[in-house]
Amino acid sequence: MHASSAITSISKRLSQVAIPFDTLQDMPMDGLMRRIGNARVVMIGEASHGTSEFYAARARITRQLIERLHFDFVAIEGDWPDASRVDHYVRDRRTPSSEWTAFARFPTWMWRNDEVRLFVDWLRRWNLDRPEPGRVGFHGLDLYSLYLSLDEVLAYLRRHEPDLAKQALASYQCLLPYRDDPVNYARTALNPRFRSCEDDILATLANLYQHRRELARHDGESLFDALQNANLVASAEEYYRTMFFSDANAWNLRDTHMFSTLERLLEHYGENSRGIVWAHNSHVGDSDATDMVRRGEYNIGRLARARYGDDLFSIGFGTHQGTVMAASDWGGEAEVKSVNPSLADSYELAFHGSGVERALVPLRHGDGELLHLLRPKRLQRAIGVIYRPETERHSHYYHASLPQQFDEYIWFNETRAVTPLNAKTLQGVPDTYPFGL
């Protein structure tokens, strides 16, 4: 079928079978909860890191999963120490306060925004009405917090086992010269005479696990936190040490770490625990259905599908146009940017052509004719923290099969940028507030 004819056919069928809604509060949740059913892991994506509707819809779905299906934790595409600050707040954990502001490094707007704040405040209220063992956690999956995690391991050991803290500091010593710029560690690793920190760091990790029984006497939750930070230091060291050797290897290391963290969380919360993942479409959609597979890349969605099968339910998002919060370059200023209308032969243009403004589109349990039309690979848009509309096709589109990536797809024809937190928003918050200035 010619590309334009295929797009027209998809648009027509979508107009007939998509499940429309007018506002987020009207989103038809009963059917979605039935389709999710007994899934142990629900991954909820986003087509950009700066779109309000994606964040707000994801939060609404998550609230329903917690209230109705009794999920145990939320794990985000964010760093473990920063998310721990949120976790301590929402579960009202009595732990020493951290010395940094959560998610204060680039890209600050990705998690420090009004949409996330509203969810975090709701989750704290929900948890405070429940006994402590049954409170819902909030955790980070990512590995960019090398030195924050290192500091957290040392702080934990200094409180509980000073002798182990001295050993850990000696092991971590070789990383300290690169503290201001961990990418320098990656550059140094290109030198054939480079001696990596890997063995020393793995020795510290092994030492922690060896003493975990004694350490658990102090506080099991704090020990789990320290072990995760120590695992993160090990993963981040490998990530930075090998990042210039292969883009695919760096991507795979990162998503493998995220998946391993998810598995540790499920084990920690117990045999029948259930978890929710918040991450970009490019992480939660099955990479085998995308261009990534040709580059030798895989993601947390692929790893989870292989591990959990139908006990994984993944949800993707898309939009045609509007605005997005993004930067032009890594480390650059956040800007509200106009999103170009979607390209020809893209899924987004087909959805736009349906005339449906907002809709749920079941893919695992969907309309057979629509699934047949959607299955062939075509262009799909992905905007991260960088948006470069002047190189739209090259920078933000890849080929993928929508129904082979996701179990459900949520469409917003026009979207707007997230609202970053500012000083006025945060006036009067308690000292423990994780987003405090």
pLDDT for 96 equals 60
- DSSP-derived secondary structure for 391-420: GHHHHHEEEE-HHHH-SEEEEEEEE-B--B
Q: How confident is the model at residue 140 (pLDDT cuts 50, 70, 90)?
A: very high
Q: How confident is the model over 115-131, as pLDDT tens digits?
A: 999 999 999 999 999 99
Q: How confident is the model over 175-199, as pLDDT tens digits?
A: 999 998 888 888 888 888 888 899 9
Contact between 257 and 251 under an 8 Å Cβ cutoff? The reply is no
CA 365, CA 429: separation in Å to the nearest integer?
A: 44
Number of compact structural domains in the chain: 2
- Answer yes or no: is 257 within a domain: no
pLDDT for 220 equals 84
- Answer yes or no: is 325 within a domain: yes
Structural domain span for residue 372: 3-142+274-415
Arithmetic mean of pLDDT, 342-367: 97
Arithmetic mean of pLDDT, 430-436: 80
Q: Fill in the amino acid letter for 420.
A: P
pLDDT for 98 equals 60
Share of the chain above pLDDT 90, in %: 83
Q: 64: which 2 tokens?
A: 């329903």
Q: Are residues 101 and 199 in the same domain?
A: no
Q: Are residues 241 and 310 in the same domain?
A: no
pLDDT for 180 equals 86
Q: Are residues 225 and 300 in the same domain?
A: no
Q: Are residues 96 and 74 in the same domain?
A: yes
Residues 83, 87, 91: CA angle, nearest 5 degrees: 175
Is pLDDT at 2 greater than 60 in this prediction? no
Radius of gyration (Cα) for the chain, nearest Å?
A: 22
Q: How confident is the model at residue 349 (pLDDT cuts 50, 70, 90)?
A: very high
Beta strands in 143-280 (DSSP E): 275-278
pLDDT for 9 equals 96
Q: How confident is the model over 367-396, as pLDDT tens digits?
A: 999 999 999 999 999 999 999 999 999 999
- Answer yes or no: is 302 within a domain: yes
Q: How confident is the model at residue 405 (pLDDT cuts 50, 70, 90)?
A: very high
3-class DSSP state for residue 311?
A: helix
Chain-centroid distance, C-alpha 198: 26
Q: How confident is the model at residue 257 (pLDDT cuts 50, 70, 90)?
A: very high
Q: How confident is the model at residue 1 (pLDDT cuts 50, 70, 90)?
A: low
Strand partners, 73: 137, 275
Contact between 280 and 236 under an 8 Å Cβ cutoff? The reply is no
Greater pLDDT, 397 or 94: 397
- At which of 245, 260, 288 does a domain end? 245
CA 399, CA 226: separation in Å to the nearest integer?
A: 40
CATH code of 384's domain: 3.40.1660.10
- Answer yes or no: is 93 within a domain: yes
Arithmetic mean of pLDDT, 48-52: 98
Q: How confident is the model over 270-309, as pLDDT tens digits?
A: 999 999 999 999 999 999 999 999 999 999 999 999 999 9
Q: Are residues 303 and 400 in the same domain?
A: yes
Arithmetic mean of pLDDT, 206-223: 89
Arithmetic mean of pLDDT, 58-74: 98
- Answer yes or no: is 17 within a domain: yes
Q: Crossing angle for the helix pair 80-90 and 114-128, nearest 10 degrees?
A: 50
Is pLDDT at 246 greater than 80 in this prediction? no
pLDDT for 3 equals 65
Q: Are residues 234 and 349 in the same domain?
A: no
Q: Are residues 226 and 296 in the same domain?
A: no
pLDDT for 315 equals 98
Q: Are residues 113 and 15 in the same domain?
A: yes
Q: How many CB atoms lie within 10 A of CB 246?
A: 14
pLDDT for 355 equals 97
CA 409, CA 1: separation in Å to the nearest integer?
A: 24
Q: Fill in the amino acid letter for 169.
A: L
- Answer yes or no: is 436 within a domain: no
Q: Are residues 321 and 410 in the same domain?
A: yes
Q: Fill in the amino acid letter for 368.
A: G
- At which of 229, 245, 261 does a domain end? 245
Q: Are residues 178 and 36 in the same domain?
A: no
* Residue that has been written with the tokens 């090259």 in this structure: 394
Residues 6+ apart with CB under 8 A from 385: 49, 50, 106, 107, 110, 326, 327, 330
pLDDT for 120 equals 97
Arithmetic mean of pLDDT, 223-250: 91
Is pLDDT at 437 greater than 70 in this prediction? no
Is pLDDT at 147 greater than 80 in this prediction? yes
The mean pLDDT value of the chain amounts to 94
- Answer yes or no: is 266 within a domain: no
Q: How confident is the model at residue 431 (pLDDT cuts 50, 70, 90)?
A: confident
- Answer yes or no: is 252 within a domain: no
DSSP 109: G
Arithmetic mean of pLDDT, 193-208: 91
Q: Are residues 193 and 335 in the same domain?
A: no
Q: How confident is the model at residue 164 (pLDDT cuts 50, 70, 90)?
A: very high
Is pLDDT at 247 greater than 80 in this prediction? no
Arithmetic mean of pLDDT, 261-269: 98
pLDDT for 191 equals 85
Q: How confident is the model over 24-48, as pLDDT tens digits?
A: 999 999 999 999 999 999 999 999 9
Question: Would you call the peptide bond into 107 cis, given omega within 30 degrees of 0 as the criterion?
Answer: yes
- Backbone φ/ψ region at 296: left (φ over 0), alpha (ψ -120 to 50), beta: left
Q: Are residues 9 and 138 in the same domain?
A: yes
Q: Fill in the amino acid letter for 76.
A: I
